A and B are shown apart, each in its own frame.
Chain A
Amino acid sequence: MNVHEYQAKALFEKFGVPVPKGAPARTPDEFVGALSLLPEGPTMVKSQIHAGGRGKGTFTDGYKGGVKFCKTKAEAKEVAARMLGNTLVTLQTGPAGRKVQTVYFTTASDIKKEYYMAILLDRARSRPVIVASTEGGVEIEKVARETPDKIFKVVVDPAYGLADYQVRELVTKLGMAGAEAKNASRFVRALYGVYWETDATMVEVNPLITTGAGEVVALDAKVSFDDNALFRHPDIVALRDLNEEDPKEIEASKHALNYIALDGDIACLVNGAGLAMSTMDIIKHFGGSPANFLDVGGGASREQVVAAFKIILGDPKVKGILVNIFGGIMDCDVIAHGIVEAVRLVGLRLPLVVRLEGNNVAAGKATLAASGVSIVSGDSMADAAQKIVKLVA
C-alpha cells in the first residue's frame, strides 16, 4: 500500500525524522487555514498523487509543474488553485494522468546540498539495507549506472538492529562532520524506525537535504507498506486513498482476485500467479498483447469466475478472452460451469478461448461443449494462445 507525501511526512514527524513545516488542503476553502500554519515567505506547493516525477509533470490543461516554488504565501494560494482538481500527467502516471485531490504547502528550505536515502529489503541477504548517496534530487538509477562509487549501503542485522558504528560510517561516507553529522545520525536512526516499526517495504527520501544551519531534513518522502502486515497497523490502513487505485482492482480485491490492468486487448483469466504471468508471456510470444493480469487463486470458485468475467469486460479495450485453468485440486467441471454461467450472465459477444487441464477435465470439456455457448477450446497453453491471438487480429 502506498500513501501520499503529506501522510508519509506526518509519519516521519511521529518517528522524529525532520521535515519542512507543512499543511495539506483538500478544498480551496482550506488554503487560507493551511497557509496560516506556515510562516510568511518562500513556500512550496506540491500536488499530492501516488506517482513520481511530479515536478516535471504537466497538467492536462497545459499548466506546467506539479511541484512549484512560490516567493510568497499569496502566490502559493494562486498556484494551488491551478493544481487542485486539475489532472497531472507525469512519466509514472501514464497518459491519462491523475486528478489532484489534495495540495500540500510547505515552507521552502535553504538547501546547502542534496542527498539520497532509502531503506528496503536486500533480497539476496534477507536483511534490511540502507542505501544512501551524495547525489540527491536526481534519478537514482542513473547514479547507480554511471557513478556506482557514490552509492553507499548498510546491511542491518535484524537480530541486533542498526548499530551505532554503522550509522557513523555511513554519515562519514556521505562527507558530513560536526553538527551536521550528529543530525544526520539522528535522522538515519529515526528513518530506520519508520521502516521497521511500520512494516514498510520501502522508505525513500529524495532529496534528503542539509541546510546552511546544519540541519538534516527530508524534503520528499515516499513510503510503501507491506500489504501482508496491514492487519497489525490499522492507523496505516486508515491512510489508504481509494481515488489513487484502479476501480477494477478495488472490485477484484473484494472477490479475492488479483487483477492488474495492462494496455493490451486480450484479457486473461488464470489460476495462480506464476501461470497468470506466463499466460501473459505466451500471448505476447505469439504476437498478441495482454489486457490484464488476473489470478483467480489456486482454488477458484464459480462466484469468483463470474466476478472475474465482469471485471474483465469492464475494460473497453478487451477484444477477446483467454481462460487458462490448471485444475490441480479444484474440479475442472466446476470451473466450466462457472464459465458458462458467466458468459450467459454478461451476454458475452467477444471471442473466448478456454484451456482446461487437470482434475475431472473430461467432464469440464463436455460441459463447455454441451452449453451451446460459443467457446473455442485450446489443447495446450501454446495452442490456446495462438487461437486467441488469431481471433482478435
Chain B
Amino acid sequence: MAILVTPETRILVQGITGDFGGRHAGLSLDYGTRVVAGVTPGKGGQFFEHGPHRVPIFNSVADAARATCAMVSAIFVPPPFAADAILECADAGLDLAVAITEGIPVKDMVRVKRAMAGGRTRLVGPNCPGIVTPGTGEQSHGGCRIGIAPGYIHRSGHVGVVSRSGTLTYEAVYQLTVRSIGQTTCVGIGGDPVNGTSHLDVIRMFNDDPETRGIVMIGEIGGSTEVEAARWIKANCKKPVAGFIAGATAPPGRRMGHAGAIVGGAEDTAAAKIAVFRECGIEVAVTPSDMADALVRAAKARGVSLS
C-alpha cells in the first residue's frame, strides 16, 4: 500500500502540450506511470506521442476523466491560468489534483481553497514537486510519478516522506535509498503560503497506512503547519518521525512585514519549530545531511525495522 496514489493509478496531465508539462509527462511514462490522458483546451482529438506511447488529448478535464477513468490530475498550466485549471478538476469531481505550477498569485489560491472547501477533490501543491509512489522495478521503475521529481532515486519500501521543498525532498529520498531504506510514498506539499494539503493531512495518512513504518517530515521557516503536525504526532502517532526545518539562517527582514509576526505568532522561526519538534518526540536532523540518519535513530529507539 501507499498513500494518495498507487502504481496502478491512472493520471491525466493538464498542460501536456506545453514544454514543461510535455517533458515531465514523458519522464513519467518512462518511469512506468500510467499517464492515460492529456488536457489542453482547443487540442482535443490530438495525441501526445512519446516513444511507444500515444496519449489522447482532451479539451476539458471532464472529457478526459469520462473517457479514460483518470481521477487524478497533474497540473502544469502557467500561473495566470493555474487557479482555473485546479477549479476545473474540482468541478469534474476528481479525487486528486496535484498542482506543480510555481508562481500562482496568493489571492487566486485564497479563492480556490475557499471554493474547494468541503468538496471531494483533494489538492496537493501548488508550487510543489508532486508525488511519487515508487515501483518495485529496477531503480523503482513501475511506480506512480506525478510531477517533476527524479523517479530513479526512489526505492519501494516503508518510509513516508512529506516536504515543502523540492530538491530538499530529493536529498532526503536519496539519503534513504543509499541506505537501502525504501519509501511508501513521497509527497511534496509545496512552498506557497496557501496550499491544498498540509503536513498534518499527509502525516495522518502515513499514520493510517499499514505499510508505512516511519516518517520524514521536512519543513521551512514561516507559517505554522509543521508545529500543528508535530503537536498531533505527539498525541496520536506511534510511528517514528524524523524532522528537519530549513531556514535557520534566513534573514527575517526578507519575509513578511511586521504584522506577520502577530498572525503567525512566535512559532514560525526555525529555532521555535525545532524546539516544538523536540518537545513532541520528533528526532531532529541537525543538518540536512542527517535526515535519513535521524529517522534511523528514531526507529532504533522504538525498535522499529525500516527495511
- Proximity bits, A257-280, B CB within 8 Å = 1, else 0: 000101000000011111101111
> Which of B80, B110, B148 contacts A232, CB < 8 Å?
B80
Residue of A nearest to B287 (CB): A282
Instruction: Say whether B257 faces chain A, with CB atoms less than 8 Å apart.
Output: yes
Interface string of B228-249 (1 = CB under 8 A from A): 1000000000000000101111
Min CB distance B13 to A, Å, is 16
Contacts of B251 in A (CB 8 A): 260, 262
Count, chain B residues at interface, CB 8 A:
66
Residues of B within 8 A of A222 (CB): 257
Inter-chain CA distance A380–B107, complex, in Å, is 40
**Measured CA separation A151–B288 after assembly (Å):** 38
- Interface contacts (Cβ under 8 Å), in number, total 189
A270 to B167, CA, bound (A): 10
Indicate if the CB atoms of A285 and B286 lie closer than 8 Å. yes
Q: Does A123 contact B (CB under 8 A)?
A: yes
Is A239 an interface residue, CB under 8 A from the partner? no
| A residues neighboring B (CB under 8 Å) | 52, 92, 118, 120-124, 126-129, 131, 139-141, 144, 151, 153, 157-159, 196, 199, 201-202, 204, 206, 222, 224, 226, 228-229, 231-232, 260, 262, 270-275, 277-285, 290, 293, 298, 326, 328-329, 357-359, 380-383, 385
Sample of 19 further A-B pairs with CB below 8 A, known A158-B114, A226-B105: A118-B257, A121-B106, A141-B262, A144-B262, A153-B263, A222-B257, A260-B254, A272-B165, A272-B166, A273-B165, A274-B169, A274-B191, A274-B218, A277-B247, A278-B168, A281-B270, A282-B289, A326-B174, A358-B150
Please judge, given known A-B contacts A121-B194, A282-B288, A358-B150, whether A159 and B167 are in contact too, CB under 8 Å: no
B-side contacts of A383, CB under 8 Å: 289
A263: nearest chain-B partner, CB-CB: B251
Can you name 10 A-B pairs with beta carbons within 8 Å? A124-B224, A124-B228, A126-B114, A141-B262, A232-B80, A277-B250, A281-B287, A285-B286, A285-B287, A359-B150
User: Are B149 and A229 within 8 A (Cβ)?
Assistant: no
Do B105 and A228 have beta carbons less than 8 Å apart?
Answer: yes
Find the A residue at minimum CB distance from B175. Answer: A380
The residue among A126, A158, A298 with the most chain B CB atoms within 10 A of its own CB is: A126
- With A226-B107, A228-B105, A381-B289 as contacts: A328 and B261 at CB distance below 8 Å: no
